[in-house]
Structure formats: structure tokens, C-alpha cells
Amino acid sequence: MRHALALAARGRGAVEPNPMVGAVVLDPTGKPVGEGWHQKFGGPHAEVFALQAAGARARGGTLLVTLEPCCHHGKTPPCTDAVLRAGVARVVAAMADPFPRVAGGGLALLRAAGVDVQVGLCEADARALNAPYLKLLSTGRPWVHAKWAMTLDGKLAARTGDSKWISGAESRRRVHELRGRLDAILVGRGTVVADDPLLTARPAGVRVPARVVLTASGELPAACQLRATAREAPVLVYTANPGKLGGWAADGAEVVGFGELTLDAVLADLGRRRFTNVLLEGGAGLLGAARDADAIDEFHVFIAPKVVGGSAALTPVGGTGAARMAEALTLEGVTFEPSGADVYVHGFAPGRVVV
């Protein structure tokens, strides 16, 4: 099952909003004879690849799969049909699929056909792997990643606002790799004004993320990289004053107006679009609002061995913040990796995954 989970992870970025799924087939003696994973959205599921690889050797054997086989017609036929045709005697699933059109139905169908079904092997690992998919299903909101680079003294930029570059080439490469597997990159108006970012993955990844700007006032530069490239890669602008952004709309951006612009309203709209993973790239105001709202699920922080100083220099996370150190958000599942001369800190908000 752990090998099936590793196979499933190969689909990260290519299968969303579907879940990542891996499968392994054992023959009746317990020998592995087939494996597969869900490789792209709309393509065959993991079970189909694994059973095709096993062929006749699957009959009387065991199928291990990281998620309950589907029992409905979607973009592909039901996986339960393929399982029953293959003649496996036992199916071991890491977890049931909460998707409403499955939700235990696949397991029930297999049991009714006489297949020995077991559920729960490595379930915590399977839930951690597909935490973004599970969150989107249960809350209607995407999984929120937060990323920033800062100096050793915790600064996001120098006192003049200059921030190029805090992190080194290896850290920037990692960020582009992250961008290339997510659905959207979110920034606030201040970042567009100060940095004129392009917000694309370079080189391109398996996904083309939407570039998302939040501006309550509707005030954005008349000329910037995002507006100039809005027809090349999607640009979404969320605002409380859509009337000020007619020029952006004319240049290809989608302008979405709210009576009151809130981060939750934006995330709800992105969820309706079936965005599974989104990335907050700043600035301090947006990250602070997300931290205050407990909206961040996963953190990617790059710490450079630089000291810039200055009491007026920005820190990465603004907002109201905690009143007492005991109220500080303490990450779980934290790892530390060298990233060139920098350190990459990765972790999760409390309770997001079982670690």
C-alpha cells in the first residue's frame, strides 16, 4: 500500500480536481504483477492501468488501491466494472471516497459481487496525500498554500520596498516548480504595484495557474505584466469596485465584483471553479488576513542568510496577529531542507493533516 501511495503521488498537479490514486495488483501467491496511477484529469484511473498490466494474473489475486474504486460513469467508465471483469478475489482500499457519487457505493457493489473488501490500510497516509481534495469536497474551499522568502531577521523587503532578490536561485526554482502544479497564485494590490510580478511558472509545469489579484478599491496600474499577458494565461481580479477595471477586462482579465471583498468570498468562488490548490504569494496584508482567518493550510518559507535591518522594513505576515505568544500558530509536520544557501521550511497548520 505504501508503494501504491508513492505511485499516486506521481499524479500531483496533473489530476486535480480529481484525487491522486495509486494501485498495485498481487497474484494469488502475493507476487506483484501490475501497478498504475491516475496520470491526468480525464484519463484512465489507477485501477485500470494496474489491472491491464496484470492481465490474467490478476484473477484470484488482490488489488490494493489508495482510494475506493469509483462506481459511476464520469469521464471514464466505473472502475468497479474493471475490477469485477479482472476476477480479483480481494480489494484492499486505504480509504473510502467521500465524493457524493461514490461515498461507499463502490465498496458495497464489490462486496455484493462476492469480493472480499477491506478498508483502512494506511488510511492516515492516504488522507494526508489527498488533503486538498478532501478539503474541497467538505468545505467548498481550495487548499491554501502560503509562500514567502525572508531574511534572517525576518524581513520581506528592505525599508525602500526593494525585495529582489532575497532568496537564491535554487529557492526560486523550487517556487516555480510549486507554481507549476497549483491552480492559482494570489497576490494583493500592493504586490502588483511594488513588484509588477508575472506570476507564471518558468519553465512551465503540468498546470497553468490562474493569476489572481485582490483589490478592494479596484485601483491597479494601467500598465503592468499581468494586464499585458492576460490573454496568454488567465488573470482573475476580485474587487469591490469592478467599474474601475474596465480596461483590465477589455485586455482579457476576468473581473469579479463583490459587495464586500473578503478572502473567504474569494476562496469560495475559487472552490466553485473546482480549484483544488491555490498559493498565496503576498504581500504582508494578504498573508496577514489569511493568518488571522486561519485560512492557510500549508506553508513554504525560504530563509536567506541575509540581515537587512530597519524598523520600517516589512515583515512577511501583517494583519492583527496573536496577542500572546501562546496564541501563535505552531506548524506541524515541519521539515527543514537546504535550498542553495537558503533554508526551506515546510509545514502544515495545526490539524490539517495527521502527522
User: Angle CA(207)–CA(351)–CA(271) in degrees, nearest 5?
Assistant: 35
Active-site annotation holds for 35: no
- Known binding-site residues for Zn(2+) equal 45, 70, 79
C-alpha cell at 178: 510549486
At 266 the three-state DSSP class reads helix
Q: What are phi and psi of 136, to 5 degrees?
A: -60, -40
- Among the listed residues 138, 146, 134, 234, the one whose alpha carbon sits nearest the alpha carbon of residue 183: 234
Tens-digit pLDDT profile for residues 121-140: 999 999 999 999 999 999 99
Distance separating alpha carbons of residues 259 and 239, to the nearest angstrom? 8
Portion of the chain with pLDDT greater than 70, in percent:
98
- Known binding-site residues for NADP(+) equal 149, 165, 191, 195, 199, 283-289
pLDDT at 163: 85
- Known binding-site residues equal 45, 70, 79, 149, 163, 165, 179, 191, 195, 199, 202, 281, 283-289
Cα within 13 Å of Cα(127), Cβ side: 16
Tens-digit pLDDT profile for residues 12-56: 999 999 999 999 999 999 999 999 999 999 999 999 999 999 999
pLDDT at 76 over 80: no
Tens-digit pLDDT profile for residues 333-353: 999 999 999 999 999 999 998
pLDDT at 90: 97
Distance separating alpha carbons of residues 107 and 111, to the nearest angstrom? 6
Sorted by where each begins, the domain ranges of the chain are 2-129, 142-348
Q: What is the CATH number of domain 142-348?
A: 3.40.430.10
- Among the listed residues 177, 176, 166, the one whose alpha carbon sits nearest the alpha carbon of residue 341: 166
User: What's the CATH class of domain 2-129?
Assistant: alpha beta
Q: What is the mean pLDDT of the chain?
A: 95
pLDDT at 354 over 80: no
Mean pLDDT within 297-302: 98
Query: Which residue among 16, 35, 47, 68 is the active-site one?
Result: 47
Q: Strand runs (DSSP E) across the chain, as ranges? A: 22-26, 32-37, 62-65, 90-93, 116-119, 143-150, 184-188, 210-215, 235-239, 254-257, 277-280, 298-303, 332-339, 342-348
Burial (Cβ within 10 Å: 0-12, 13-18, ≥19) of residue 43: middle
Cα within 13 Å of Cα(204), Cβ side: 8
- At which residue does the C-alpha cell 472552490 appear? 271
Tell me the residue type at 262: T
Tens-digit pLDDT profile for residues 230-259: 999 999 999 999 999 999 999 999 999 999
- Among the listed residues 14, 13, 17, the one whose alpha carbon sits nearest the alpha carbon of residue 182: 13
pTM value?
Answer: 0.94
Which one has a higher pLDDT value, 105 or 8?
Answer: 8
Q: What are phi and psi of 85, to 5 degrees?
A: -65, -35
